[in-house]
Amino acid sequence: MRRTVSDDSTIERLSTRPDGWRRTAWTGGSFETAQRPLTTLVEGCIRSDRHLIMVTLRGGAERHEIWADDGHRYDGPDRPGSVSFLPAGCERRLRLRNVAWRWAAIGLQPCETSVLGKVGPFSGAVDDVLSGLLAELERLDAIDGGLDAAYCETMSLAMTQYIAQRYGREGMQAGAPITLPAWRLRRVTDYIDGALGGEIRIAELAGRAGLSEGHFHRAFRTTTGQTPLAYIQRRRVDAAMQMLAREKASIVDVALRVGFVSPTHFARVFRSVTGKNPSDYRRDFGLG
């Protein structure tokens, strides 16, 4: 069997390699997608130091047999929307018959997603929530040629909480609503304003607020009425509006200077906030 390494922590030994492999990584996680033409038989194993969430986006397999280290077994068809979860350090052996599909997977560092340690492996679950989230990541990655780190962290947090609540051995306890004191909120927002041109990690913001990522996300939204991601995007658009109104820099340059991964992503977010394309907004100031 051919041995392939998809990242520093994931080892896959598969009898045939998928096509069109794309990967985006950020601190604490990674996203991958690939496709496979009609193949009669695929055998191998997967093991990772990260928690893996895997989704069949399109197509499927006539039969999918799985054996995991902890005794988990699955033997059945693989359909669009089928979701599997493999905890960090757990090896999964597999056999696929008559498979043709596009899949996507997200890998999350255990240290940043500790609640997933209470979730055992599962396979073949048709889950519209998880499949929808990974399908959206695949769509944005194809359109923009990459993914925004803050967006990926936000989606990862949502997936983590959802999986723990729906599939965990112990349900997560909902705590009382919490808010951020003014001084902690200012510490977070000052950091965001000073880091707009680079990668802004939710984990970093949570650390500055002295909270876990989950608590920080809820506290920030309760305090400001916005998610951290929405606030970051709004501040980036605000900075871009100032540049467009007084500078003749290219749209591409402005997008990069305020931290967007691509001009396409920038234009889409800018339009959602202002109702105008960046070029149309600039023309309002006679700089078109």
Mean pLDDT of 51-59: 94
CA 234 – CA 239 distance, rounded (Å) = 9
Asked whether residue 288 carries a pLDDT value surpassing 70, the answer given is no
User: Encoding tokens for residue 93?
Assistant: 């052996």
Share of the chain above pLDDT 90, in %: 50
Q: Give helix 213-224 / helix 202-209 axis angle, nearest 10°.
A: 80
Give start and end residues of each alpha helix (H) in 72-209.
128-144, 149-167, 182-194, 202-209
Which domains are present in the chain?
2-163 (2.60.120.10), 166-230 (1.10.10), 235-283 (1.10.10.60)
Q: Rounded to whole angstroms, what are the CA distances from 208 to 7, 187, 192?
A: 29, 7, 11
Which has the higher per-residue pLDDT, 119 or 62?
Answer: 62
Asked whether residue 183 carries a pLDDT value surpassing 60, the answer given is yes
Asked whether residue 165 carries a pLDDT value surpassing 50, the answer given is yes
Mean pLDDT of 12-41: 88
Contacts of 233 by beta carbon, 8 Å cutoff, 6+ apart = 269, 273
**10 Å Cβ neighbour count for 161?**
19
Type and span of the H or E element at 84: strand 82-86
Which has the higher per-residue pLDDT, 287 or 167?
Answer: 167
Query: Among the listed ranges 2-6, 111-115, 201-205, which one has the minimum average pLDDT value?
Result: 2-6
